[in-house]
């Protein structure tokens, strides 16, 4: 059994199992996965991505063979898991190589807000690659809390910052004049 922690809202949670007969990986198998809320006992209906107690439920979802004995299914937790909780993932393989394995998946509220910040040319609106960007908690830029990092080809950088705070974003690149700082206020984590 393994334990994994994810943030609420993640759209690509890998549900993965490795199958082996003790001598080597098992390939060409057909394992499935079942997800259950540990506290309520409700099962995930893979047909509509909601947890249910009974009724018509698609309990088992097939895993894709990634080769070398590894099987995986990507789970979109963004609509199914809406509060801190843990799930039990039960992997089952039937047939000649029957096996059952469990993992515990913890979903927790993130303690930081993701800020995708993009820099564009004020005249052409084209993204500017290679801009140094940093974040401070004061307008003078004395208390830097993130960066400096450079924008990508789309002119963007990502920062993880405290919620419910105002930040001052500074930008710098040779040949460009930026009106620093750019003030950004982040709301609460939802």
Residue 53 sits in the same domain as residue 133: no
Mean local confidence (pLDDT), 153-178 = 88
Report the domain count for the chain.
2
Residue 154 sits in the same domain as residue 85: no
CB 89 within 8 A of CB 101: no
Print the domain residue range for 16.
Answer: 2-108
Residue 92 sits in the same domain as residue 143: no
Confidence band of 12 (pLDDT split at 50, 70, 90)? confident
Confidence band of 120 (pLDDT split at 50, 70, 90)? very high
pLDDT reported for residue 152: 87
What's the pTM? 0.56
Residue 76 sits in the same domain as residue 124: no
Residue 15 sits in the same domain as residue 103: yes
Query: From residue 111, how far is each of 6, 31, 32, 130, 174 by CA, in Å?
Result: 12, 35, 33, 29, 35
pLDDT reported for residue 35: 92
- Of the three residues 86, 108, 130, the one that is the final residue of a domain is 108
For a pLDDT cut of 70, what percent of the chain falls above it? Answer: 92
d(CA 41, CA 188): 31
Averaged pLDDT of the chain: 85
Residue 87 sits in the same domain as residue 120: no
Residue 90 sits in the same domain as residue 128: no
Residue 148 sits in the same domain as residue 61: no
pLDDT reported for residue 138: 92
């Amino acid at each position: 059994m393994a334990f994994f922690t994810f943030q609420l809202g993640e759209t690509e949670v890998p549900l993965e199992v490795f199958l082996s007969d003790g001598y080597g990986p098992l390939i060409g198998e057909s394992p499935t996965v079942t997800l259950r809320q540990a506290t309520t006992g409700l099962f995930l209906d893979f047909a509509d991505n909601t947890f249910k107690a009974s009724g018509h439920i698609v309990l088992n979802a097939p895993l894709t063979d990634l080769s070398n004995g590894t099987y995986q299914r990507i789970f979109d937790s963004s609509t199914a898991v809406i509060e801190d909780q843990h799930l039990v993932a039960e992997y089952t393989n039937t047939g000649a190589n029957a096996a059952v394995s469990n993992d515990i998946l913890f979903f927790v509220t993130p303690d930081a807000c993701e800020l995708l910040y993009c820099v564009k040319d004020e005249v052409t609106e084209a993204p500017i690659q290679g801009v140094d960007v940093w974040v401070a908690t004061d307008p003078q830029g004395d208390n830097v809390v993130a960066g400096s990092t450079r924008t990508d080809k789309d002119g963007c950088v990502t920062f993880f910052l405290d919620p419910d705070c105002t930040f001052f974003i500074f930008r710098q690149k040779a040949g460009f004049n930026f009106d620093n700082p750019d003030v950004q206020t982040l709301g609460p984590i939802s």
